Structure 1
Amino acid sequence: MAKPQLSIRSAKARELAHRLAQRERRTVASIVELALEEYAAKHANASPAEAFYRQLRETCAVDSDLDDLIEANRKPHRGLDL
């Protein structure tokens, strides 16, 4: 039975995978598998993009007038002490 093959269409990804495989003395497939496993573990608890942007909109959707903010907090500079 023939083994499944990995086809990497991105030249940058292919070059990186081959360089890592050569450096680590592993197959390209094992490098890609390890990278995907680590990526999946790292992002296992990540929320979907839609939920992230909804939460961001709810918590940060305050529209501030920057000119008013600057004017309210502006303090005169006393100048240099010579």
Structure 2
Amino acid sequence: MRSGKWSAVRERRCGAVAIMPSGAYLACMTAPQLSVRSARARDLAHRLSRLERRPIHAIVEDALTEYAKRHPEPSASAFLKRLRVLAVEDVDLEALIEDNRTSHDGVAL
């Protein structure tokens, strides 16, 4: 009795027919959806999905995995080395904090 998205379910007690979504439709609707604001990216993902006959999420996961391999996260030491190159002079943060420190009068009661 199934046809497409919906299937008819007959209830035994009163003989009424209820129209319910099929299991495949519910599985599709409860799965996380990909939200892309770029029409170009969305169209490309749909085109690749049709060509490779794979779900869009698999295409996007593969693309993001490859991107992560090509652009590894920099280590903390590499970040600090880049920061030292960009900095003209070394700033003494402790002295800067002490120069601008003021006492708080407390809570006014």
Number of equivalenced pairs? 56
Question: Within 5 Å, which residues of 2 pair with 1:3-82?
Answer: 3-44=31-72
Higher relative contact order (CA 8 A, sep 6+): 1
User: Gaps spanning 5+ residues in structure 1: where?
Assistant: 58-82
Looking at structure 2, the residues matched to 5 and 15 of structure 1 have their Cα atoms a distance apart, in angstroms, of: 15
More strand by share: 2
The 1:18–1:45 alpha-carbon spacing in structure 2 relative to 1, beyond 3 Å, is: same
Amino acid at match of 1:31: I
Find the aligned partners of 1:5 and 1:17 in 2 and give their Cα distance: 13
Rounded to whole Å, the distance in 2 between the matches of 1:23 and 1:55 is: 48
The structure in which a higher percent of residues are helix is 1
- How big is the shift at 1:45? 5.3
4+ residue segments displaced more than 2 Å: 53-57
RMSD value, Cα: 2.6
Unaligned runs of 5+ in 2: 1-26, 87-109
Q: Which of the pair has more CA radius of gyration?
A: 2
How far has the Cα of 1:56 moved from its partner?
8.5
> Equivalents in 2 of 1:37, 1:12: separation in Å?
20
Alpha-carbon offset, residue 43 of structure 1: 0.7
Sequence identity, in percent? 51
